[in-house]
Amino acid sequence: MIPRLIFHVDVNSAFLSWEAARRVKNGEPDLRLIPSAIGGDVATRTGVVLAKSIPAKKYGIQTGEPIAQALRKCPELYLAQPDFRLYHQNSEAFLAICAKYAPVVEQFSIDECFLDMSGTGRIYPDPIALAHRIKDEIRDTLGFTVNIGIGSNKLLAKMASDFEKPDKVHTLFSEEIEEKLWPLPVKELFTVGKSTAQRLNAARIRTVGELAGTDVQRLRAMFGNKMGDHLFRYANGFDDSPVLAESEEAKGYSNSTTLAEDIITADEAHRVLLALVDSVASRMRNDGFFASCIAVTIRGNDFRDKSHQKKLSEATDIT
């Protein structure tokens, strides 16, 4: 059986990087070097932060917080409005570069994708060198940086890409789990939200390693069988989900995101939905399509999905 080799490519501060790259190309200052953010209405200074620069992060500015609050933390914060057409163009551009090298590419969100490099050892004998090649081509051709994580499954590759940023390549293979994954706080484990991390910490399970060593029956008692099994598997680095290329004949447009913290108010949910919808509508307008049915799916921290859909009386491409 061919060993699995998965890359996860993640654009560093995507919305801000894409806006910054456009401005640098036009001879303007680089937004990545100053306290800056994407989001809201620049004139009224309302809305929420969709992305922030590293200098802005030093002021404690967080993605998803109100613009007014961010400005109180950093009055000199430079604000730029979202441009989802630009984001879609850059997303397609970096995916195209990835597709030059990988037999299978799965777009995970507008700014990240998985590459299934399994069985390519004769073509690319050094996967780390290949990851650097892809990373550098994206940077040198498109003007923005990515992190690439390399692992033996999608989970480990994604966790690796979240290590030190920006413009880095990291590995997280099965034999590296004890050294690189287990010392991390449980909140750093992919899909563990704020409330789940709090419950684990209250049970004196503070690191991924402690979670990996916890009896699965105890986790099932705390979170239910499905969630308990999931936490145990992920903490031990197990993930057999395949890398799936999206069909060319897809009859719908979609976008999704996994949130670092649980959403608990309608206002917070509406902000996330607005960002996702704006991206989808922009892609539809760019391709000349209209939607006559809208569906929304929410996955809770218990991994149960709730979906609703509605047929529209008139097809639309408006956010």
Which of 92, 112, 176, 314 is labelled catalytic? 112
Cis peptide before 166 (omega within 30 of 0): yes
Least confident of 61-65, 181-185, 251-255, 273-277: 251-255
- The arithmetic mean of pLDDT across residues 288-300, rounded, is 85
Give the sign of the dihedral formed by CA 285, CA 286, CA 288, CA 289: negative
pLDDT band at 248; cut points 50, 70, 90: very low
In a domain, 101, yes or no: no
For the cut 70, the answer to whether the pLDDT of residue 260 exceeds it is no
19 in catalytic set: no
pTM: 0.78
In a domain, 307, yes or no: yes
Last residue of a domain, one of 194, 218, 235: 235
Domain count, the chain: 2
Domain span holding position 204: 185-235
Task: Specify the residue for token string 């989900």.
Answer: 241
Q: What percent of the chain is predicted at pLDDT more than 70? A: 93
Q: Where are the alpha helices (DSSP H) in 11-144?
A: 14-25, 54-57, 67-73, 84-101, 127-142
In a domain, 100, yes or no: no
Question: Looking at residue 189, which CATH number applies to its domain?
Answer: 1.10.150.20
